[in-house]
Amino acid sequence: MKLLKKILKITGIALFVLFLVLYYLFWNFSAPKSDVKVLEKFSGNSTPILAYKNFKGFEYRKLSIIKDTTLPTLVFVHGTIGSSTDFIKYMKDSVLLSKANMVSYDRIGYNYQDKNSVQESIAFERDMLKNILHDIPPHKTILVGYSYGGPIALAIQEKVRKVILLAPAVYSKVEPMPWSLNLYKWKVTRWLVPPIWQEASKEKLSHKQDLRTFENHWKSTPNSIVSIHGTDDWIVPFGNSLFLEKQFPKHQLELIRVPDAGHGFIWSKFDTIKKHLRQQLD
């Protein structure tokens, strides 16, 4: 009996230590990276200009690679949870760099050591994006919105060259609410949720209601749209893109299915996404 108790005690301590290690790694991995860490991911000719900009009193970080003003500009809008660094692999790709300038930015609440909270508003995010686009000629602007960034890009009503949506969260009726959100909703467990995930939880919880203000008006955009979506995506279900397909005439929206791909396909299916970006640049 004493031996059994000792084994259980040692096992319990080992599991607790393992939990702490995994929790720390998860916290550290998902936290926004410092400017130094971000720039370390680039090298040589692909190194962006990192600058801090201001919108309505909110400071945000912006990465820009502008080499040739005669080229179009890919403007990436990240999702929830996310940051400007989600698109580093694309911003480092020599083929894409030969065909386009690139801009990526941290939305409010997702900046490194951000003291501001997410704004929980597609309208706010749309207006912030419009401000970022101010110096880019519309006919050379290609918006690339991933996940929650999809409705932000789609909400732009001004004419641009193209809107590319990657697994866009645009339809409230298929918006899932994972059980894990309860860890944030319950005050007794909220302290367990890393700060950046608390911000993501706020945005996720309000997104469904916010979408209802926009989803019946997506078709009013004058822009041509390409929606690329993984058929096995359970975080932002494929039904979002099917909903869009019903809203637009075929000449205005192209739906590209990526078989057997989940929500992380911007990383796991990099070559596929890159191929479709190239097609829009050629």
Query: Which pairing describes strands 162-166 and 225-230: parallel, antiparallel, or unpaired?
Result: parallel
Q: Is the pLDDT of residue 81 over 70?
A: yes
SS3 sequence of 31-70: CCCCHHHHHHCCCHHHCCEEEEEEECCEEEEEEEECCCCC
* Dihedrals phi, psi of 200, to nearest 5 degrees: -65, -40
Architecture of domain 34-281: 3-Layer(aba) Sandwich (3.40)
Q: Is the pLDDT of residue 9 over 70?
A: no
> What is the per-residue pLDDT across 195-246, written as a single tens digit (0 to 9) for each?
888 888 899 999 999 999 999 999 999 999 999 999 999 999 999 999 999 9
Q: Is the pLDDT of residue 37 over 70?
A: yes
**Confidence band (pLDDT; 50, 70, 90) for 270?**
very high
Between residues 17 and 191, the one the model is more confident about: 191
> What is the per-residue pLDDT across 98-144, written as a single tens digit (0 to 9) for each?
999 999 999 999 988 888 999 999 999 999 999 999 999 999 999 99
Q: Is the pLDDT of residue 24 over 80?
A: no
Residue spans of the domains in the chain: they are 1-30, 34-281
Q: Is the pLDDT of residue 12 over 80?
A: no
Q: Which two tokens stand for residue 71?
A: 């080229």
